[in-house]
Amino acid sequence: MSELDEAYMREAIELARTGMQQGDGGPFGCVIVKGGKVIGRGQNKVTSTNDPTAHAEVVAIREACEHLNDFQLTGCTLYASCEPCPMCLGAIYWARPDRLVFACTRQDAASVGFDDQLIYDELPLPPDKRRIPMTSLLRSEGRMVLNEWSLKEDKTPY
> Which residues carry out catalysis?
57
**Burial grade of 147 (CB within 10 A; 0-12, 13-18, 19 or more):** exposed
**Collapsed DSSP state (helix, strand, coil) of residue 99:** strand
